[in-house]
Structure 1
């Protein structure tokens, strides 16, 4: 008996279905009260927007962080007393289903000096991710079986039989390098509406890897005898 151990791999792809974005309200002022007031007002607007998008079905979920504030001393100049600076911040994260609504929202909130828009995290729905992961695992096993058969044939062995399966770990879904693109559109609408942003969701890769151990019989070569 000969043991053959191989690793099977597979990748499944699907278009992104969810987009999570975090917008932080941040402001610095000479007093804690002024910084907190500016951030509270900005944060309340973001929360109201998040609730509206959730109610309209454009967003799947949202959550907001608590407001926090820090204090620092700012250098003004030689022989000048340092100036106190208070910075307040709070953030809202929204998970969008409607990418057009996402683009419009980012265009609007980006017009405010108190808002800082973070990067977008693209993902699949739970149902799609499960389906793609299952397909990837199935194909990874098939890849391992094919590899083992190739090695067995090259070594002059019989058909390999599965003796053990080990999953070394599955990588989390990740956007492709050519993933979601973001393009600025021409400014349209009212002056305070902000420019809309068009999003083209790229594909998400779901990886699967598996190690499979096979055993294969050595083929016996029977030589016929020649009559004397």
Structure 2
């Protein structure tokens, strides 16, 4: 009896279905009330728009943080007193299912100095990810069986039988290469035009370690 241990792998791909983005409203001023007031107004607008997108079905979920303020001393020049600067900030995070709506929103927000858009995190719907993971695992087992059969044949052994199955590590979708593309385009936009976003594909990978046992092939005896 000979033991054979192989690793099977498989990849399933699908176009991203969700785009999560964070919009931060941020402003600096000499007085805390000025900074807070400017951010509170802009933040309220962003939150209201996210809520409207959710009502229309373009956004799956969203949440808004509270406005907060901090301060620091800024160097002005040699021999001059430092300037006390107050910074107010607040953010809204939304998960879009309508990529075109997201592109239009980013283009609209990009013309205002108050708002900063963070990187877009692409993802799959839970059902899609679960389906792809199941298919990837099945193909990983098939890959392991094929590898073991190749080794057994090369070593003059009979058909290997599975004795153990082990998943070495959890797998997760890989982010697409286009993750930050929309933000780069937004930075170059000054007209409020919609930004064309390309999500690309996400990968769901599966890996499995499978143990086999095979006996010497006695067909020729």
TM over 0.5: yes
| Partner Cα separation in structure 1 for residue 110 and residue 142 of structure 2 | 49
Q: Cα offset for 1:177?
A: 3.4
TM-score between the two structures when normalised by the length of structure 2: 0.92
Partner of 2:206: 208
* Residues 176, 199 of structure 2: 8 Å contact kept: no
Unmatched segments (≥5 aa) in structure 2: none
Partner of 1:164: 164
Partner of 1:8: 8
Aligned residue for 1:174, secondary structure, equals coil
Mapping of 1:185-204 within 5 angstroms?
194-204=192-202
| Partner Cα separation in structure 2 for residue 57 and residue 126 of structure 1 | 17
Q: Cα offset for 1:221?
A: 6.9
| Partner Cα separation in structure 2 for residue 173 and residue 96 of structure 1 | 18
Q: For residues 78 and 121 of structure 1, do their structure 2 counterparts lie closer, same or farther at Cα, with a shift above 3 Å needed?
A: same
Mapping of 1:40-55 within 5 angstroms?
40-55=40-55
| Partner Cα separation in structure 2 for residue 82 and residue 166 of structure 1 | 62
Partner of 2:100: 100
Q: Cα offset for 1:171?
A: 2.3
Q: Cα offset for 1:220?
A: 3.5
Greater share of strand: 1
Aligned length: 217
Q: Cα offset for 1:219?
A: 2.4
* Residues 179, 203 of structure 1: 8 Å contact kept: no
User: What's the Cα RMSD here?
Assistant: 2.0
Runs of 4+, deviation exceeding 3 Å: 176-185, 220-223
Greater share of helix: 2
Larger Rg, first or second structure (1 or 2): 1
Deviations 1:50-89 (A, max 9, x none): 0000000111110112222211000111111111001111
Unmatched segments (≥5 aa) in structure 1: 186-190, 224-228
Matched, 1:71 2:71: yes
* Residues 103, 194 of structure 2: 8 Å contact kept: yes
